C-alpha cells in the first residue's frame, strides 16, 4: 500500500505495509538513517521523529499514521546541521557515543518549540523518556538552556 506524506519538506509516497513501524519505513524505504533503532518498545527515545510537530516514537508508530501528515526527522532540521539545537549540541560536546542523540535532539527541539525558556524541571520532564547510556544528561540540559538563552 502506498502511504503519502510530507517527509522533511518533500512529498513522498512509500510502498509499505501500513502496520510497518514508521522507523523502518523512514530508514529502509526512504533511506534516511539518522533516526535510530534503540529498543523497539518506545522506551528509550532513540527513534523520536516529529509528526505534525509532535515528538513520536517511530519504532511503535505504524507507517499508516504518517498518511497525510508532516514528518520531520533529524535530517529535516537543517540540511547542514545549522539548527540551533544541533549547533548547541556540538558547541557543548553533548554527544559521547552519539547513538541516542538524534532522538535527544528531536525531543529537545519539540520542548523548545512549546516552551522557549524551559526550567530544569521542564527539561527533566520532557527529556525523561530519552535514555542516554553514556549519561550526558547534564550536557543535554546545558545545551537546551544555551539555545533558550541564545534565542531570547
Query: Confidence band (pLDDT; 50, 70, 90) for 10?
Result: very high
Is there a single domain that holds both residue 114 and residue 131?
A: yes
**What is the pLDDT averaged over residues 74-83?**
95
Read off the pLDDT of residues 111-146 as tens digits, 9 standing for 90 and up: 999 999 999 999 999 999 999 999 999 999 999 999
Question: Do residues 10 and 72 touch, judged by C-beta distance below 8 A?
Answer: no
Q: Say what the alpha-carbon torsion angle 61, 82, 147, 106 is, to the nearest 10 degrees.
A: 10
Domain span at residue 40 reads 2-77
Where does a domain end: 77, 99, 116? 77
pLDDT at position 102: 96
* Residue 35 and residue 99 share a domain: no
Please state, in angstroms and rounded to a whole number, the distance separating the CA atoms of residues 22 and 39.
14
64 and 7 in one domain?
yes
CA dist., res. 71 & res. 53, Å (int)? 8
Tell me the pLDDT tens digit for each residue of 81-100.
999 999 999 999 999 988 99
CATH number at residue 56: 3.10.20.30
Amino acid at each position: 500500500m502506498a502511504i503519502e506524506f510530507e517527509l522533511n519538506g518533500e512529498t513522498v509516497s512509500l510502498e509499505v505495509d501500513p502496520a510497518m513501524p514508521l522507523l523502518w519505513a523512514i530508514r529502509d524505504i526512504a533511506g534516511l538513517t539518522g533516526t535510530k533503532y534503540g529498543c523497539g518498545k518506545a522506551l528509550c527515545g532513540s527513534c523520536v521523529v516529529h509528526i505534525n510537530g509532535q515528538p513520536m516514537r517511530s519504532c511503535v508508530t505504524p507507517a499508516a499514521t504518517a498518511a497525510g501528515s508532516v514528518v520531520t526527522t533529524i535530517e529535516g532540521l537543517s540540511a547542514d546541521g545549522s539548527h540551533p539545537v544541533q549547533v548547541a549540541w556540538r558547541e557543548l560536546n553533548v554527544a559521547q557515543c552519539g547513538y541516542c542523540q538524534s532522538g535527544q535532539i528531536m525531543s529537545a527541539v519539540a520542548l523548545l518549540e512549546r516552551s522557549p525558556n524551559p526550567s530544569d524541571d521542564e527539561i527533566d520532564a520532557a527529556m525523561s523518556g530519552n535514555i542516554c547510556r553514556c549519561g550526558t544528561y547534564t550536557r543535554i540540559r546545558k545545551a537546551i538552556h544555551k539555545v533558550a538563552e541564545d534565542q531570547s
